[in-house]
Copies of this chain bind each other. A is one copy, B any other.
Amino acid sequence: MIRVPAEPAGTFPDAWRHCVGTGRLDLALRRDYQDSLALLQREIGFRHIRGHGLFSDGMGIHRPYDHAGTRHVHHSFTHLDQVVDAYLSAGIRPFLELGFMPGGLASGDRTVFWWRGNVTPPRDLAEWAALVRATLAHLVDRYGIDEVRTWPVEVWNEPDLPDFWQDADEQAYHRLYEATAHAVKEVDADLRVGGPALSPGAGEGWLLRFAEFAERRAVPVDFVSRHAYSSGPAQHVPFGVHQTLAPAGRLLDQFAAPRRELKGTRLADVPVHITEFNSSYRPDNPVHDTAFHAAYLAPVVVAGGDLADSFSYWTFSDVFEEAGIPTALFHGGFGLLTHRQVRKPAYHLYAFLARMGRDLLTRGDDHLVTRHPDGRVTVLAWAPVDPSGATPGPDGHTLRLSVPVGGRGEAFLWRLTVDEEHGNAYTAWRRMGSPRSPRPHQIDVLHEASEPARSHRRLPIEDGRVDLPLTLARHEVAFVELSRVEDETPPWWDERRLLGREPA
């Protein structure tokens, strides 16, 4: 039995809600996307949102034209304004990622993804800098300098991978970063710029060399960023892949890496943002849809805040098209939500976190206990998994907590459960026959099947504490809330007089 302390050990860090990932920015114009974001913000509430493609042609910002025999460039914000308006009206702010390269400014035609993001350096760094300045200046003009100063600005994405930056040319990235950071600061010295948004595979040297370059060239770096994924090699099937996963601790190692690597450098104390993380880095791995996935990630989202200032789940919605338009409702997408807003188990993991209290009472391998200002004590608990694929993992799990709720009498226990059978539309969808394009009635059932199981009961309080044994099912993530009962049952009430109860 774990005796939960009655005095808080401090505040539970909410780095987990600092940022969330999204598919390419112009997807934010979609209705399904905006409805999903509204739901996400109502029930969870992230602070920032980060995605690729701000400067890609689907956003239509960089618009060269000829007039009177000369080349000119319009900077056009028709789409960007709609995207940012949508974010702010949903109560979330951009975490700007500057990339990829507009077609009219690209030095080559190499692209990434189905939607063809151009990954080549700019043909003209000055024209790129002008694009950055014009965009930031427009945002400041439209949304106000106080607002935009809260939006981090990240330069490019995973330049250490040739898929995302032609030849993974490190020197070229440094040049790009330098031009960009200066352009940002020319708009306003208090805008926050950072990078280098490294992939998990980037060797330690990359970040150190970035720090050295920044120091040598006196280039501003207000934060550093990298990504974290834990999957093994992809085994392809049509429209999908399978992968094994490293233990979840591997993700925490990656979260911790920047601070460890930068110790002693000029960047030792800048904020560290894990601007993408997930188990698999593939948008077509069915693991993302499962209860296993939520249980696998639970210890990561609970402990990550010790190691980094943010870690951004990649991504909030299956409205995401890097590998093409999905061909089935469940297709292994990154989303916490499917198309049409069916909640996945990992969504519930975040929704449970959002119901936790501010005060941290205790934390362990399989649990987190917090308290709200009004005295409610909340528990997040999860079952262990085997990510290797070698075994199906344990069938369930038990733990037992002594929870301080104060006072005497009884406590009201409220429990939400997500496991293989509950809060799990994926299981229902598989049982339905995996309908690629579910009928309206099937979508309704999937929405219902995605709701967690709920239960409640009363437990006795002794010495201000409740003895709480928890039995978790296979791959379960559970949320439990305990509150002392203030009984307003009137003195004349006799339960036995209610029909269907024990007769008087």
Contact = CB atoms under 8 A, between A and B. Distances in A.
Interface of A: 29-34, 58-60, 63, 65-68, 72, 74, 76-79, 81-82, 85-86, 138, 141-142, 235, 237-239, 242, 244-245, 286-287, 290-292, 324-329, 339-340, 374, 376, 385-387, 389-393, 412, 414, 416, 421, 427-428, 430-437, 439-441, 445, 448-449, 451, 453-458, 474-475, 485-493, 497-503
Contact of A485 (B67, B432, B439, B503): B432
B387 A327 contact: no
Given A76-B436, A385-B500, A488-B434, A32 B82 contact: yes
A175 B457 CA distance: 49
Contacts of A501: 392
5 contacts: A67-B492, A389-B497, A389-B503, A427-B456, A434-B487
A445 to B, nearest CB: 6
Given A490-B238, A493-B237, A456 B431 contact: yes
A265 B389 CA distance: 69
Given A238-B65, A451-B451, A327 B78 contact: yes
B445 A431 contact: no
Given A66-B238, A391-B503, 12 more contacts: A30-B30, A31-B34, A58-B325, A65-B238, A68-B491, A72-B238, A237-B492, A286-B498, A292-B498, A412-B433, A433-B489, A451-B454
A448 B454 contact: yes
Nearest to A115: B58
Given A238-B66, A434-B487, A32 B29 contact: yes
Contacts of A485: 431-433
A74 B433 contact: no
Nearest to A235: B497
Number of copies: 4
A25 to B, nearest CB: 13
B431 A412 contact: yes
A392 B30 contact: no
Given A392-B502, A475-B500, A437 B238 contact: no
Contacts of A74: 239, 327, 436
Contacts of A59: 325
A390 B492 CA distance: 20
B433 A487 contact: yes
Contacts of A392: 500-503
A188 to B, nearest CB: 17
B499 A244 contact: yes
5 A-B pairs closest in CB distance: A60-B325, A292-B500, A76-B327, A433-B487, A433-B485
Nearest to A492: B237
A210 to B, nearest CB: 34
Given A286-B498, A497-B389, A63 B457 contact: no
Contacts of A235: 497
Nearest to A454: B448
A455 B95 CA distance: 40
Contacts of A500: 290-292, 385-386, 392-393, 474-475
Nearest to A324: B60
Nearest to A79: B325
